[in-house]
């Protein structure tokens, strides 16, 4: 990975290599941490964070769900993102990924977590297309996972929690090792839930379809994509999708802060549509990239410029 100069930790900017943690940090053993994945785009007017407000709110929501008491307010966290990017600005020529994390540090062992100190950190670094530059244009090959998405009776998918990603990690590993680029996970009733780190959409007969939020993270890119589609007059259905419906979709794509809008050309050896980026996918992608790059006047309020 590309290193930057500073990391923000507990209210201070510290050198990248000094942002370490003790081996007996509670989170390292028991998996309770909440984090975000946020992007800043290098626009014509400089670096701008996309939907900082929504990402910071979701970070605090995740902490609330998991009983982690964040010592910082939303405004303080937002300012910390800005301070960090300003301090690191000389490192950046292109788009940046931002990773705030609230975790439990060193001081108490055992499963009970409220005696551990809460640590807050934010890192940022230059990061291009998550699934590769080619993927944005050509699409990726996807495998429906043998792993069922975390069950809502046991885990809490509305929290972007470190522990939830063990399920994602195993699904991703299985997909890559089997020769695919990404996994698509079904819920415990067999309906499509989400990707290992993305939300999922299909297009059938001109209608954009995405699963309800039951088993998924409340995705910010999914929300943006639905807003764009509404603006463009594309009919939307938010409903359950079965595996066989995916196979016969005209188009399919993933959305996520890291994945942006990534077309899917094949699922389980079935070619989707014409096996390349579909027409509606391209239209949504074009609008999306205009928005994040500050080139769409209706959506400039989603950008926080670092100047």
Choosing from 47, 66, 199, 261, the residue that interacts with ligand PMP (CB under 6 A) is 199
Choosing from 139, 197, 273, 294, the residue that interacts with ligand PMP (CB under 6 A) is 197
Please report whether residue 139 would count as binding ligand PMP according to CB under 6 A.
Answer: no
Please report whether residue 285 would count as binding ligand PMP according to CB under 6 A.
Answer: no
Stretch that binds ligand PMP, among 104-112, 135-143, 202-210, 217-225 (CB under 6 A): 217-225
Angle at 296 (CA atoms; ends 294, 297), nearest 5 degrees: 100
Take residue 281 and report the two structure tokens written for it.
Answer: 């996918």
235-274 positions binding ligand PMP, by CB under 6 A: 255-257
Taking the complex as a whole, the smallest distance from the CB of residue 105 to ligand PMP amounts, in Å, to 24
Size of the site for ligand PMP (CB under 6 A): 15
266 closest CA partner among 174, 181, 142: 142
Please report whether residue 37 would count as binding ligand PMP according to CB under 6 A.
Answer: yes
Query: For residue 101, what is the enclosing H or E element?
Result: strand 96-104
Q: Can you name the residues that pair with 74 across neighbouring β-strands?
A: none
The answer to whether 160 is a known catalytic residue is yes
CB 198 within 8 A of CB 262: yes
Choosing from 52, 63, 85, 220, the residue that interacts with ligand PMP (CB under 6 A) is 220
Please report whether residue 229 would count as binding ligand PMP according to CB under 6 A.
Answer: no
21 closest CA partner among 9, 5, 32: 9
List 9, 78, 160, 172, catalytic entry: 160
95 closest CA partner among 133, 59, 134, 57: 133
For residue 122, the tally of other CB atoms under 10 A from its CB is 25
- How many residues are given for the chain? 307
Nearer to ligand PMP by C-beta: 16 or 289? 289
Query: Active-site positions?
Result: 160
């Amino acid at each position: 990975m590309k290193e930057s100069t500073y990391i923000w930790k507990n209210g201070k900017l510290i050198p990248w290599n000094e942002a370490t943690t003790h081996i007996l940090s509670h989170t390292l053993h028991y998996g309770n941490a909440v984090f975000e994945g946020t992007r800043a785009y290098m626009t014509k007017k400089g670096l701008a964070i996309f939907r900082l407000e929504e990402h910071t709110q979701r970070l605090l929501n995740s902490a609330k769900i998991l009983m982690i008491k964040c010592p910082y307010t939303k405004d303080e966290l937002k300012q910390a993102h800005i301070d960090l990017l300003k301090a690191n600005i000389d490192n950046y020529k292109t788009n940046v990924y931002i990773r705030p994390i609230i975790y439990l540090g060193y001081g108490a062992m055992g499963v009970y977590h409220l005696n551990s100190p809460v640590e807050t950190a934010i890192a940022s670094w230059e990061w291009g297309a998550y699934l590769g530059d080619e993927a944005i244009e050509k699409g990726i090959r996807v495998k429906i996972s043998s792993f069922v998405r975390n069950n809502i009776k046991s885990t809490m998918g509305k929290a972007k929690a470190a522990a939830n990603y063990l399920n994602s990690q195993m699904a991703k590993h299985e997909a890559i090792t089997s020769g695919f680029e990404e996994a698509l996970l079904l819920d415990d009733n067999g309906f499509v839930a989400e990707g290992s780190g993305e939300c999922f959409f299909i297009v059938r007969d001109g209608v954009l379809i995405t699963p309800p939020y039951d088993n998924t993270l409340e995705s910010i890119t999914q929300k943006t994509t639905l807003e764009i589609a509404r603006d463009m007059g594309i009919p939307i259905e938010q409903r359950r999708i079965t595996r066989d419906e995916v196979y016969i979709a005209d188009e399919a794509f993933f959305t996520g802060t890291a994945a942006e809008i990534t077309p899917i050309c094949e699922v389980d050896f079935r070619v989707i549509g014409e096996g390349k980026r579909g027409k509606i996918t391209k239209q949504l992608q074009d609008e999306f990239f205009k928005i994040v790059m500050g080139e769409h006047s209706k959506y400039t309020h989603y950008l926080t410029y670092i100047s």
